[in-house]
Amino acid sequence: MIELAGVYYEYPDGRVALSGIDLRVGRGERVAVLGPNGAGTTTLALTLNGTLRASAGTVAISGAVINDGSVRDVRCRVGVVFQDPDDQLFMPTVFDDVAFGPANFGVSGAALVERVDAALAAVGMASAADRVPHHLSFGEKRRVAVATVLACDPDVLVLDEPSCNLDPRSRRELVEILQTLPQTIVIVTHDLLFAAELCSRAIVLDGGRLAVDQPIDELLDDASLLERHALELPVLPRRVR
């Protein structure tokens, strides 16, 4: 489903964020992308639908290399959910926000309404169609942001720090929603337990390079490996007697 070959990305200021990434992700896989701040994880996520275009190397989705001719189709097939839902929600109502993407890809009329209804139902927000997005709780905004992507009927779902700023209940609800989805899923996160609940495989970026690619259970059991790449599991506070 996803294939990166020799992918480099250099920002305009000369900083190299990705350096020679080779990666293959199969259809239906769920992969966690982990790494310390500045490792290139978000940059990698944004190359997967052409939001950022590789400075060198190729990114291909189902065999179609992302280029000027294919990028529109790829953005329909690879949906990105940004870290801050307010970057994704900007229309007067929830319905309008969820309809925006598929409408721009040419879906209209009854088919558009069906897409929106199905996407909102998938994230448990069917009753919120007429609400104003900025009146929603943060957890509700996150779910609607996911719906805006699902309404485009993507093959791949890419989520950047999806558990960030969620309370425990909203976090659990999001996990349960994502577990039901059939798409290939790529999750960029610092939340190792969230990643472990959803993904069987983890890759670790460090300094823009792919440093680790292995089953997530093995990664979480290797304390020295986590330490080398500035990753750590949460530590429960000791009770004060």
pLDDT tens column, 34-87: 999 889 999 999 999 999 999 999 999 998 999 999 999 999 899 999 999 999
- Residue whose entry in the numeric block shows the structure tokens 């939001």: 51
Q: How confident is the model at residue 240 (pLDDT cuts 50, 70, 90)?
A: low
Whether 239 has a pLDDT exceeding 90, the answer reads: no
How far does Cα 130 stand from its chain's mean position? 26
Helices (H), the chain: 41-47, 71-77, 94-104, 109-122, 138-150, 168-179, 192-198, 216-220, 223-228
Burial 160-195 (b: 16+ CB within 10 A, else e): bbbbeebeeebbebbbebbeebebbbbbbbbbbebb
Q: What is the mean pLDDT of the chain?
A: 94
CA distance 115 to 111: 6
Q: What pLDDT, on a 0 to 100 scale, did the predictor assign at position 234?
A: 74
pLDDT tens column, 139-184: 999 999 999 999 999 999 999 999 999 999 999 999 999 999 999 9
CA distance 94 to 130: 6
Phi-psi region of 184 (alpha: psi -120 to 50; beta: other; left: phi over 0): beta
Whether 215 has a pLDDT exceeding 90, the answer reads: yes
Do 190 and 34 contact (CB within 8 A), yes or no? Answer: yes
Do 209 and 229 contact (CB within 8 A), yes or no? Answer: no
- Which of 82, 81, 85, 191 is closest to 138 using CA atoms? 85
Task: Report residue 113 as tokens.
Answer: 């309404």
User: Percent of the chain at pLDDT above 90?
Assistant: 93
| CATH of range 2-228; options 3.30.1360.150, 3.30.950.10, 3.40.50.2300, 3.40.50.300 | 3.40.50.300
How far does Cα 180 stand from its chain's mean position? 15
Whether 233 has a pLDDT exceeding 90, the answer reads: no
